[in-house]
Every structure is written in structure tokens, then in C-alpha cells.
Structure 1
Amino acid sequence: MNRMRATLSASAARRRAGVRDDPLRARRRGPCVASDCGGGANGFVDIPDSLSGEVKARQPLSDTNSPTAYQVTVEVGTIGGDRRGWARISSGDPVNNPVRKHAKVWMDWRAPQSPIQPWLQCGPFEVRHDGLTATSAAKRTDPSPAWQFRACGSMELPGSPVYCTDWW
């Protein structure tokens, strides 16, 4: 009973801190990893960390909505002849507030026909060096409103809250 109470308390504390529970991670009984979508897995393709596209959704990694804050975005563009979406972490002011090494970004993808429900988490991917950006792998887009992406990320400090865009 005490163990259950401690688990529930930890879950409630994470929600209060803005950390989103991930049902997929819990169901797998282990962390989601970049290999869930890297190297062509599950229809994703690897892309350069420097790639940028048309921004479809944006979320600052802070509660202040500062224009200089780190941000995660859902971006789309043409890759290998296909329209694809991906997540990207960057800074609103890369000169004075560069993204730091170990900041993380990932993309959640959901579709009714997906074998992984309620969504597949693509990542996390870490920023490799101070001042750089990072991207998730990219997934083909679809005109169906049920085929959706969102970008999530956290800053480089252990225990940093997770912020996610709205679903796009």
C-alpha cells in the first residue's frame, strides 16, 4: 500500500511540475528510444539536426513565453520527394541564449492505424554541442486530421519540465 501511495504521489508531483506522463513509455516498461524511429524504423527517415522547415506548431520551454526562450516546433518540408514532419529544438535568441548541450527534443506521432497506441514517441534526441539545434527523425504527413504530430522537449538540466506543442 505504501509503495502504491508513493507511486501515486510521484505521479501527482510530476503533473504539478508540468511533466507529462507518457502512457506508451509505461506500457513498454522502459524508456522510449531514438531507435523507435531512427534509421527508417516505423516509416521515419533520419534528417540533419540543422534542417528547418515551415513551422506548424511552437511551444517555448518556459512558462514566461519569452521570445528568447528555447522552443520546440513541429516543422514540415519536402524530404526525398515526400512531405514530412519533424520536431526541432532551437532558441529564440541563439546569440545571447544558445541551446545548451543535452537539451532534448522528440516528436510524438499518432494515427488510428498505427500499431503503437496511443502514439509513438520518436526520440528523445539530444543537442550535441552548445549553440546547435537538434531534430527528431521525420515522418511522412497525411491529409487525414487523425494523423497528427506534436513536438516535445526539455532543457539540459536533470529534472527539467517537459513542454509539448499542441497536436498538429
Structure 2
Amino acid sequence: MPIRPILRYPHPALKSVCAPVTAFGPSLAALADDLLATMRAAPGVGITAAHIGVLSRVTVLELDKAFGVRLYVNPEITWFSQETMNHAEGSVSMPGATDEVTRPRAIRFRYQDAEGTVHEETAEGFHAICIQHEVDQLDGIFWLQRLSRLKRDRLVKKWEKAQS
């Protein structure tokens, strides 16, 4: 369960669409373990394989101890609520940078587990926000793209200044 290097914004892989996982087995389980260790070390509550340069549709979430660790393989959102909510978002690829993003409050989504079994769930609130954030990343949409141009430019300038 090694901790892997996290790609930093604006690495091109963070804008890449990830390929569906077709092979379920030990290598997927090892990737999931590495993602969990890397996410905890960052620290964060969610991470995708793209964050470590693996362009596969895999994400791990650990929102809190009660939620536990959840692995989502090939997640896709099948329904969004009309009701929205605002939440501060950030990324393990851009540590220290956050801003408020508006997203649907509830979603329905489909995914596979480590063995390839298909599941469908509904999520609300913070869980829904996190799934949307990570699915965006798997689709090559970095969270900054959900901000207005003005907010995005300000945040990027502030973050770049902090990196130098």
C-alpha cells in the first residue's frame, strides 16, 4: 500500500478523460489500496486514479469514520436533482486552494465494486457533492472549471503565488 506521488495542477493528466476499467482483480485491488493510502496522506476525503497519473475510472472516498472507505469503479451519474447546494471544494492536486461550488443536492449513480458487480445508489448532501466532484475529475473536468472565470483566475493566481 505505497503512497504515490500526486500530480499537481495544472498537470495535463488532470484534464484527461479516464478509460473504463475492464479488468477486475488483484491489480485493481492494489490500485484501490494505493489510492486510499495516498488520499489519507494528502490528506483528503476523495481521490481518483487520475490524481496519481493512472487514467482509469477509479475513485475512493472516505468522508468520515461512519461512512467508511468506499471504492467506486466506473461511476456514472444517472440523475441530478433540480435543488442545488453550495459547498467549499478543493483538490489533493491543488492543496490549500478552495472555493465555493454550486452542484445538485442529490444524485443517483451507478458504479462497479472491486469484483465488477454493478450497484446503483442515491446520494445527498456532502456525499452527492463528492461523487460529482470525483466523476468530473474522471471526465477530465478539474473542479476549477465549475467556478466563474473571475473566481478561477483569482484562485489560480493566489495558488501559483503560494507555490513559488
Is TM more than 0.5 here? Answer: no
Higher helix share: 2
TM-score (norm 2): 0.28
